[in-house]
Structure 1
Amino acid sequence: MDMQPDPAALKQVMESAALSAGRAIMAIHSVGPEVQIKLDSSPVTEADEEAERLILAALRQQFPAIPIVAEEAVAAGHVPDISAGLFFLVDPLDGTKEFIAGRSEFTVNIALIQNGAPIAGIVLAPALSTGFTAVENRAERFSITEGIIGERRAIGCRDHSSAVTAVASRSHDTPETARFLDDHGIDACTAIGSSLKFCLVAEGLADVYPRFSRTMEWDTAAGDAVLRAAGGETRTLDGALLAYGKRNQPHDADFANPNFIAARAGWKTK
């Protein structure tokens, strides 16, 4: 399958679906979620499930021929055939731990993958009234006012500077991350949840996001799409671009990512 959606239609549908999911999430956020634990020991709430339902309905209505890999659906055993190479990746609520803790750093993530690469995506942070899109190699940040997208502006990774700033996971700090920061002489590191880490690098507010703990493809695809459209890249520790649609991995589950470095272009992973 090589027929991509019209970029303008794709952008409109992704934004509309994400905003709808964001409204549902915020309604639950305001009263407090009920938390359950999945088989992989990760938390899930009714906000995850309702947001995914809304996103899947919107994508299926507008793009019925494109399969969708969605976090909660996969957890329930529903994995579509993605062998044609074009598919959506959906994380309806990335940063569930932040959401449960009452913080504001959770996001809604939708990405379109083609031949292993994220070619379009949206990262919506409903509690922060902002979001990021990537379509046709253009990355934008937008504001949200009363549920409607307002001002938009193009964003891009910053040039190399002598003072290097990193972003790292708030909930998944590791000794390897600390070692990476020390090895690269990085003193300034901001801890933040969800896929917003990619967006901070894409916006030029940070240089690098090292990840040395487990992620799944739906955790990273939308943020990675924004980063790549902004002039950055996400590479595994052997220097290869992070690929999507990983099935039948001999040493890990379907759609699991290896460790990676997300950074402005030109960052050396080795």
Structure 2
Amino acid sequence: MTQNQRSATSLRMKQMIEELSNIARKAGAAIMEVRRKGFDVYNKDDKSPVTAADIASNKIITEHLAKLYPEIPVLSEEGIKIPYDERKYWKEFFLVDPLDGTKEFIKDNGEFCVCIAFMRNNRPVLGVVYAPTQDALYSGSIETGAKVSKNGKKSVSISTAPPVEGEGQIIVGSRSHPSPKLEEYLSDINVAQMKPAGSAIKFCLVAEGKAHLYPRFNPTMEWDTAAGQAILEAAGGTMRGLDGEEFPYNKKNLRNDGFIVKA
């Protein structure tokens, strides 16, 4: 890639981060409005919960993406299910979870977020995660690095912080999806602290140096991990499958196996 091509790519990523950040904030505001008014909980065909907040957020995100990027398809948890025979040819697409952490939203513990990832060649190359109860907006791409904006303030750069030898590791794990395999995995690790959290916020805690390790053994879906992975990798971290290989996306079955996130 030439210097001009790198500059053009970086400029595109910066513009996309700004636009996706604005969309995520609008979606977050819609979620908070539903939260304020109250809501019913329904079960989808797969028995997972859905609320009016999921639907409202999805509507805002997909409509804005269609206006800004009509040439780029969108794969969303709450969107139209797109056949693999169609999407397997996509070179670029947006992967969206309009309300990641629906169970946390229902519990009203504040640990939910909006996730939007830009995918290229089935890799998450840019991500935006917005946690509306904290007014915390995380974003990142390899070209621009990782940043966070809290309480509407100017974005600041963030990076992972590997554990100091001998001091133990801070482990972040799922609040609503504990796994018996986690205890076995951690048995050989010097654990200084266990930090439970909901949704893709776990990726962000590692990305900003507040945790060192996020092992996941229970299943997730691709839209649960893509934006967080993009931010994590932009901050200097790594995410691999349990087999140590690169984590796959745009699979025929969008269900994820386990993974290990490291600072």
Could you tell me which residue of structure 2 aligns to residue 268 of structure 1?
none
Structure 2 residue ranges without an equivalent (≥5): 1-7
Deviations 1:67-99 (A, max 9, x none): 11000115xx34562513211100000000110
Partner deviation per Cα, 1:91-141 (whole Å, 9 max, x = no partner): 000000110111111000000111121110100000111120013241001
Q: Where does residue 138 of structure 1 map in the other structure?
A: 145
Q: 1:31 maps to what in 2?
A: 37
Which deviates more from structure 2 when the two are superposed, residues 46-55 or residues 4-13?
4-13
Query: Mind listing any 5+ residue stretches in structure 1 that lack a counterpart?
Result: 248-253, 265-270
Quote the offset at 1:187 in angstroms. 4.4
Counterpart residue type for residue 154 of structure 1: S
Name the structure 2 match of 1:228.
Answer: 233
Q: How does 1:100-179 map to 2 (within 5 A)?
A: 100-135=106-141, 136-144=143-151, 149-162=152-165, 163-179=168-184
Preserved contact between residue 139 and residue 229 of structure 1 (Cα < 8 Å): yes
1:27-54 deviation per Cα after TM superposition (whole angstroms, max 9, x unaligned): 0111222110111111000100110010
CA positional deviation for 1:257: 0.9
Look up the equivalent residue of 1:204 and give its one-letter code: G
Give the CA deviation at 1:238. 1.1
Query: 1:59 Cα shift?
Result: 0.8
- The answer (yes or no) to whether the contact 1:137–1:228 under 8 Å persists in 2 is no
**What code does the residue aligned with 2:64 have?**
A
Distance 2:54 2:43 in 1: 12
Specify the alignment match of 1:16 in structure 2.
22
Higher mean Cα deviation, 166-175 or 25-34?
Answer: 25-34
**What pairs with 1:1-270 in structure 2 (closer than 5 Å)?**
6-74=12-80, 77-79=81-83, 81-135=87-141, 136-144=143-151, 149-162=152-165, 163-247=168-252, 254-264=253-263
Structure 2 residue identity aligned to 1:258: D
TM-score normalized by the length of structure 2:
0.91
Matched residues in 2 for 1:9 and 1:114: separation?
16
Distance in 2, matches of 1:191 and 1:68, equals 31
Query: Could you report, residue by residue, the CA deviation over 1:181-209 in whole angstroms, capped at 9, with x for unpaired residues?
Result: 22323241111100000000001111110
**Which residue identity is paired with 1:120?**
L
* Cα separation, 2, equivalents of 1:104 and 1:131: 14
Q: Give the SS at the match of 1:20.
A: helix
The separation in 2 between residues aligned to 1:159 and 1:46, in whole angstroms, is 40
The answer to whether the 8 A contact 2:114-2:131 is kept is yes
The answer to whether the Cα contact below 8 Å between 1:137 and 1:230 also exists between their aligned partners in 2 is no
The total of aligned residue pairs comes to 250
Contact (CA 8 Å) 1:67, 1:82: kept in 2 or not?
no
> For the residues of structure 2 that align with 1:228 and 1:9, how far apart are their CA atoms?
19
Once the two structures are aligned, what percentage of the paired residues are identical? Answer: 39
For 1:179 and 1:199, the matched residues in 2 are separated by 24
- Distance in 1 (CA, whole Å) between partners of 2:20 and 2:186 is 35
Rounded Cα–Cα distance in structure 1 between residues aligned with 2:149 and 2:237: 19
Amino acid at match of 2:50: V
**2:159–2:208 Cα contact (<8 Å) kept:** yes
2 CA distance for matches of 1:196 and 1:215? 14
SS in 2 for 1:177: helix
8 Å Cα contact 2:14-2:144 kept in structure 1:
no
TM-score (norm 1): 0.88
- Provide the rounded CA distance (Å) in 2 between the counterparts of 1:78 and 1:53: 17
